[in-house]
Amino acid sequence: MNPQPSATPAEPQLELGLVWLRRDLRLQDHAALHHALRRCRRVQLVFVFDTDILQPLLEQAIRADRRVLFIRQSLLELDAGLRLHGSALRVLHGRATQMLPELARRLGAGAVFVNRDYEPQAVRRDAAVAGELAGARIEWHAFHDQLMLAPDALRTGQGRPYGVFTPYRNAWLARMRADGGAGLAAFDCELDASRLLPAPCAPPPIPELAQLGFDQPVALPAEVEPGSRGARRAWEAFKPRLDGYATARDFPALDATSGLSVHLRFGTIGVRELARHAWQAMQAGSAGAASWLSELIWRDFHAQVLHHHPRLAQGRSFRPEYDRIRWDDAPQLLQAWREGRTGYPLVDAAMRELSRSGRMHNRLRMVVASFLCKDLGLDWRLGEQHFARWLLDFDLASNNGGWQWASSSGCDAQPWFRIFNPVEQSRKFDPQGHYIRRHVAELAGLDAASIHAPWLAAPEALRAADVRLGQDYPLPVVDHAQARQRTLQRYAVVRGDAARAAEAGAAAPSGQEPPRQGGLF
């Protein structure tokens, strides 16, 4: 579990320590900051707008990105908190592998403190920075903070990493019961002016978006307030809804999910606090809390899968046999999916919301992903890339895990025959069509019986709603029943492996809802 602070503070051993912020943009319950305050007489917090991360976006002509705006506004709040204590956040713009060691040398820091980032590229970056610091005799201290359990914390009985979620969750919960939730204890980060490096007389301002090479994007969605203050408000608003989460979470028209995924992605709130509350509520009998905690465990699960299988970040299937599948080359279908013009209202509503706000409900992520792979016959990697471009809460491990789940190539006991019916999903999870009407305005006049499949609607219902199919709203780009048959044929190259899994008891009974893919809240 997490290394927890001792009851008495240690005597500071270093004059100055830098705390390098990355996916942990907060001043509370922060492992690296906690240990820096214990080890150092003075602490300076630093953030780097890393051009190794930003430049690929700019090279793709992505000049407006809500995530960069979210980060910058969160940094402004964090800086304001430090200024209350006479310090200031140092924000750099350049290659982190160069700028962080340079700053440490210039300030005379004795150590750099970080919270570990487990993504493959981040691991390589941190190794390069640690090497540079070692050459200057500057210590490097990395701590577990981003997840509830570190990726190496749990192993199967054979000593291998987990590749199926349910056994991983069971082991996670067993670990929690064994230590009584001690691993979720908070890290104390009490700040005062005497422990922080004083701000210079004229501290440089946090770079504007234009200085980073970005245009001002459309404003963040009204539901998303950046920074720890926004995270705190979202968390407090969700707590009264937690008990009902298990039954309400799948209905996108309801305000039933936490809205905290973006805050967990950028660390404006710590996952330990959320899990601790959910664990305690589950112990008190809350089914909703148990369901939501399972979602948090999905996040840990996806991270440990990517950590142990970094090849997944290079577009490789978790199940190698699925790399034999031949996908269609249909740019027009891909563009229709991206723009929400498939003729399937629930799919189109979800894709339009994504492009307009950067948000998408978890149930709908599963629906649109299944539609891309198993109705349109397109490579799941194309969808993974599109989500990586647009999702405000984009997380490499969860995104990859979700898309591989949808294509049946990932960590899943359900193989190739799981194919979502987009119309049935619409009728089941948006029965009155409220979500569709919110995002597909041209169908707003249709009644609840007609809105899920307008091409089946009576002519008088279409006339009454002023909908002309093929003009105001597209006809379906594929027939689902025919597409399903093509998918079963496409997956023939792996059906032998899948059939053996089914015979071993992995398949769900006919008609049963397949296991939920989680980690996206």
Catalytic residue numbers, as ranges:
295, 298, 327, 362, 380, 403
The two tokens of residue 273 are 């606090």
Are 188 and 30 within 8 A, CB to CB? no
Three-state SS string over 66-80 comes to HHHHHHHHHHHHHHH
Reported residue count of the chain is: 521
Instruction: Provide the β-strand partners of residue 473.
Output: 469
SS3 content of the chain, % helix, strand, coil (to 5): 50, 5, 40
Could you give the 3-state DSSP secondary structure of residue 94?
A: strand
Residue 407: name the closest of 440, 447, 378, 437 by CA.
378
d(CA 344, CA 328): 20
Are 39 and 12 within 8 A, CB to CB? yes
d(CA 432, CA 447): 8
Signed CA dihedral, 218, 222, 227, 231: sign only: negative
Report H helices in 29-140: 31-39, 51-59, 66-83, 96-107, 120-135
Q: At 181, phi and psi to the nearest 5?
A: 80, 15
d(CA 441, CA 439): 6
